[in-house]
Structure 1
Amino acid sequence: MKIITYEDIEHIRMNKKLVTTNGSFDILHVGHLRILQQAKALGDVLLVLVNSDSSVKENKSDKRPIISEKERMEMLAGLACVDYVLIFDEKKALDPLRKIKPDVHVKGGTYIPERIQEEKDLVESWGGKHICLGEIAGYSTTNIIEKIREVYK
């Protein structure tokens, strides 16, 4: 099973280079896919940390997520580049990262450096690498939502 809990972490790690990334992945799109593929190429195992419905609401808006956490996790687990998926309830991924201690943590290019500095410092505190990949231009869940609203108003 690709959808795991914290108890499964040591088993999946097993002397392998563990890469994590995190996000809401609400309305999965090709920008997400490309970031996930690039993240997978940086190690042996890709674990995707998925914001729960409640944390998406807190981070984005009361109208989000569009897709439920269960369905978002299932779609991510169905991608060949994703080895495992884990849900988390916190607003930021700091607690999951502290528990997992990945070798590499990847962010997409849409993040403002100041907003992820605490995360970067945390990952580097145990010798991990924190990598920000370039933005996949033109792909955003918010843009997709706006386009749908414009077309169907």
Structure 2
Amino acid sequence: AIMYLLIVLLLMFVLPTGSIYLEHSYLHSAAPLMLLAGKWFVFWSAGVRLVMAGLRQYFQPRFTSEQIFDIKGDEALPIVRELGVANLATGVVGVASLAEPTFVLPVAIAAAIFYGVAGIRHVAESGRTRNENIAMISDLFVFLIFAAYVAFCAFTA
């Protein structure tokens, strides 16, 4: 459980904000901070995070079904694997966004929808586990980042 918390904290907050800080302060990027936020949150929180989650869901679906959704038994495992493939696909495009900046906005839109719906679903869940609370808070946090980035792009285009 501690490892899950550390990975989520790193990928959903520490690494994206650290990357923004480094690019802005040390590389002296002229890009607006919101564009840097989109770039780095897409890479870390939608890219690396979803690649890792997707691989785990595909190869170890029981973790997600039992630890995140509190579902015992094997009935949900095929669905968790399919979720893993969807997460992997989105994550790969998020990681590729560093090489192809035009991928940032579409991935941010998809990730905002995914994390927003997932976060709201966790809010509605009564009797959440510790891991569900971690997922809920991190999902809603990055949803807000992605929503702000998408709005910024819409109003500055």
Same-fold call, TM cutoff 0.5:
no
Which one has the bigger strand percentage?
1
TM-score, with normalisation over the residues of structure 2?
0.29
TM-score, with normalisation over the residues of structure 1?
0.29
Which one has the bigger helix percentage?
2
Which has more radius of gyration? 2
